[in-house]
Amino acid sequence: MNAYLMLGLAIVAEVIATSSLKASDGFSRLLPSVLVVAGYATAFYLLMQVMKTVPVGVAYAIWCGAGIVLVTLVASVLYRQLPDLAAWAGIALIITGVAVIQLFSKISAH
């Protein structure tokens, strides 16, 4: 499987797990708790596979950046935690930073 496809799946699994943390209510609700554990296990397994071929810095930058953006979007829909202007500015900076690493850094070529 393509490393970047695996990275995308790892990000989705991590977003599901992180978004389920609040719903798990301190691991007192079964289904959200299972989603947390299964999501993180899947995410870390896939990330480990990705790092066999993608440089650690690049993989982690994409993982973190996409995770932050997607969790923020999911939280705004599921939990009505709407980002303010400062949050949107921060998200834009995260996206820009990941793009700079991917497009211009020599580390992404290794």
Sign of CA dihedral 91, 52, 5, 76: negative
The CA distance from 2 to 16, in Å, is: 21
- pLDDT (mean) for 50-57: 92
pLDDT one-digit tens code per residue, 61-71: 899 999 999 99
Tell me the one-letter amino acid at 32. Answer: P
More confident residue, 89 or 106: 89
Could you give the residue ranges of the DSSP H alpha helices within the chain?
Answer: 3-24, 30-50, 56-78, 85-104
**What percent of the chain is modeled with pLDDT above 90?**
83
Domain extents in the chain: 3-109
Give pTM, 2 decimals.
Answer: 0.88
Residue whose structure tokens are 């992404």: 108
